[in-house]
């Protein structure tokens, strides 16, 4: 072998190793979607025989927590996987999620807190669903604590989502709403929250929930149900923030929605990708993802 051949072989191995490391460390080695939504990390995250729901990446992209349910939605746990030495660990049940039903994890923008929904509060009147959080310390995660303040009520709260400003968007079945569940925003002011129903035109369906707010609050994707030919079906909608007012929601149509049920949207840390769940035939549910440029184009359509 000549000197030039040796140098070329070394160069090839270095490039191949670097590419392999990047592939392993970015979204579980998946090639990003281009024009159409596709299943996210099949056989690793999205698996046959269970339902995967809302997930959340840590801000540095090295941790991923996500919801896993049995096919009857009777057993719901939060799984996690961590990037170590360029490889993702095998997903497993998070320690704090081994008791009770737990779902819908959400990382804070600094990665120091993980919020989630749980039924561990026996005093809740409606389905025992409240928001909890764990805090990252030098020795690991703390035990779960119920979220303080008026965001939790005696009724069902679901899908905690927070913008970089600190505003919390969530859905609730508390009295006084327009439908069975409505989307609310909680704005922090001197340590307390002022809570506001988003009202028209967002809360204008039979059910409105699963708010996925852009970090800068420029748009929001959410799940809604309306009566269509005497049957219920969940679709994803998008609304844009124009001068502090939300535009009339647009159905995401064939870009995302299908004859099946789409729900539980969440964003990648850099905002480039939208993830969502699709509940298919036979109650098998997987996570899908798509480039957000496809949905943001609807603003001017």
Which residues, other chains included, contact 118 with Cβ-Cβ below 8 Å and sequence gap of 6+? Answer: 100, 101, 102, 103, 129, 130, 132, 144
pLDDT tens-place string over residues 134-156:
999 999 999 999 998 899 998 99
| pLDDT at site 196 | 96
Q: What are 60-112's pLDDT values in tens digits?
A: 999 999 999 998 888 899 999 999 999 999 999 999 999 999 999 999 999 99
Confidence of residue 19 (pLDDT cuts 50, 70, 90): very low
Q: What is the dihedral of CA 274, 275, 276, 280, to 10 degrees?
A: 120
CATH class of the 32-300 domain in this structure: mainly beta
- pLDDT of amino acid 205: 86
Q: What is the pLDDT of residues 211-234, one digit of tens each?
A: 999 999 999 999 998 765 545 789
Determine the pLDDT at residue 227: 60
Q: What does the alpha-carbon distance between residue 108 and residue 18 come to, in Å, rounded to a whole number?
A: 30
Assess whether pLDDT exceeds 90 at residue 40. Answer: yes
Q: Is the pLDDT of residue 9 over 60?
A: no
The structural domains of the chain, with segments of one domain joined by +, span 32-300
């Amino acid at each position: 072998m000549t000197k030039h051949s040796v140098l070329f072989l070394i160069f090839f191995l270095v490039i191949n190793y670097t590419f392999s490391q990047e592939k392993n460390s970015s979204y579980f080695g998946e090639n990003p979607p281009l024009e159409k939504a596709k299943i996210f990390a099949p056989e690793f995250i999205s698996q046959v025989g269970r339902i995967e729901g809302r997930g959340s990446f840590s801000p540095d992209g090295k941790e991923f927590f996500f919801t896993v349910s049995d096919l009857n939605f009777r057993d719901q746990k939060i799984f996690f996987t961590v990037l170590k030495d360029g490889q993702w660990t095998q997903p497993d049940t998070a320690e704090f999620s081994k008791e009770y039903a737990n779902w819908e994890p959400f990382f804070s923008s600094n990665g120091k807190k993980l919020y989630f929904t749980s039924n561990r509060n026996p005093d809740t009147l409606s389905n025992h669903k409240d928001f909890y959080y764990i805090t990252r310390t030098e020795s690991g995660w703390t035990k779960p604590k119920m979220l303080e303040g008026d965001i939790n009520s005696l009724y069902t709260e679901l899908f905690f989502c927070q913008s970089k400003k600190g505003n919390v968007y969530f859905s609730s079945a508390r009295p006084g709403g327009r439908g069975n569940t409505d989307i609310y925003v909680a704005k922090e002011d001197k340590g307390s929250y002022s809570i506001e129903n988003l009202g028209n035109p967002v809360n204008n369906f039979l059910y409105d929930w699963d708010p996925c707010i852009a970090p800068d609050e420029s748009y929001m994707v959410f799940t809604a149900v309306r009566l269509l030919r005497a049957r219920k079906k969940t679709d994803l909608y998008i609304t844009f923030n124009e001068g502090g007012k939300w535009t009339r929601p647009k159905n995401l149509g064939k870009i995302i929605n299908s004859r099946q049920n789409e729900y539980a949207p969440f964003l990648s840390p850099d905002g480039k990708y939208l993830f969502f769940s699709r509940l298919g035939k036979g109650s098998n549910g997987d996570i899908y993802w798509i480039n957000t440029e496809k949905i943001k184009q609807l603003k001017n359509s």
